[in-house]
Homo-oligomer: A and B are copies of this chain.
Amino acid sequence: MQTLSKNQQIIFDLIDKSPEPMKAYSILHNVQKKGIKAPLQVYRALDKLVEIGKIHKIESRNAFIACHNSSCQVSKATAFSICEICEKVTEISSASLSKYLTNFKDKDGMKYSKYNLEFFGLCKKCR
């Protein structure tokens, strides 16, 4: 459990409190009062937080959410469900899914060091 730097902590706290994925420039607007003024300061903190697994990037949305999967110290095996109406995103933690994908080998026998899976559909509320 590594300690975060000032900017990293500010930005992680914001993302962690957010009920939905946050975009970089929305993060920027929200932390300007705390002295973080430039996009690069945000992106650097985001890069680091992703690297150490505290947050994940939702690639199809260019947005970031806090990791709520205690077992994933590093973002090497991620799966999300995304509601196409309300854009709610939930991290999926399914042992059988992660086992299946971690062990998946393609035709050439290639094994992978990392994966990211995004499911799309309608959440309970929106159905």
Interface residues, chain A, with chain B CB atoms under 8 Å away: 59-60, 81, 84, 90, 92, 94, 97, 100-101, 104, 106-108, 110-124
Select which of B113, B115, B116, B121 is within 8 A of A112 by beta carbon: B121
The answer to whether A112 and B108 touch across the interface, beta carbons within 8 angstroms, is no
Chain B residues contacting A121 (CB-CB under 8 Å) are: 110-114
| 3 tightest Cβ-Cβ pairs between the two chains A and B | A112-B121, A59-B59, A112-B119
CB distance from A60 to the nearest CB of B (A): 5
**CB nearest to A94 among chain B residues:** B106
When A116-B117, A117-B115, A117-B116 are in contact, do A110 and B94 touch as well, CB less than 8 Å? no
CA distance A106 to B112 in the complex (A): 23
Q: What residues on B are CB-neighbors of A60 within 8 Å?
A: 59, 116
Nearest residue, chain B, Cβ from A59: B59
